[in-house]
Amino acid sequence: MHALTFDWGHTNYREDGSPSGRPIIFLNSLGTDLRMWDGLIAPLSAHRLVRLDNRGHGLSARSPQTPTIDDLAKDALALADHLEIEKAVFVGCSLGGLIVQEIARIAPERVEGVVLSNTAGRIGAREGWETRIAQVRESGLAAMTDAILERWFAPEFRAHPDCAIWATEVARCDREGYIGGCEVLAATDLEADLPRIAAPTLVIAGRHDGATLPEQVLGMAARIPGARTEMIETAGHLPAIETPDLVARHITDFLKEHALV
Statement: residue 47 has pLDDT above 90: yes
> Mean per-residue pLDDT for 162-180?
94
pLDDT attached to residue 233? 98
State the chain's mean pLDDT as an integer. Answer: 97
Q: Please compute the mean of the pLDDT values over residues 125-136 and round it to a whole number.
A: 97
pLDDT for the residue 107? 99
Q: What are the CA-CA distances from residue 197 to residues 98, 122, 135 (Å)?
A: 12, 15, 35
HEC assignment per residue over the chain = CEEEECCCCEEEEEEEECCCCCEEEEECCCCCCHHHHHHHHCCCCCCEEEEECCCCCCCCCCCCCCCCHHHHHHHHHHHHHHCCCCCEEEEEECHHHHHHHHHHHHCHHHEEEEEEECCCCCCCCHHHHHHHHHHHHHHCCHHHHHHHHHHHCCHHHHCCCHHHHHHHHHHHCCHHHHHHHHHHHHHCCCHHHHHHCCCCEEEEEECCCCCCCHHHHHHHHHCCCCCEEEEECCCCCCHHHHCHHHHHHHHHHHHHHCCCC
Q: What is the CA radius of gyration of the chain?
A: 17
Domain positions in the chain are 2-257
pTM of the full predicted structure?
A: 0.97
What class does CATH assign to 2-257?
alpha beta
**pLDDT tens per residue across span 206-260:** 999 999 999 999 999 999 999 999 999 999 999 999 999 999 999 999 999 999 9
pLDDT category at 1 given cuts 50, 70, 90 is confident
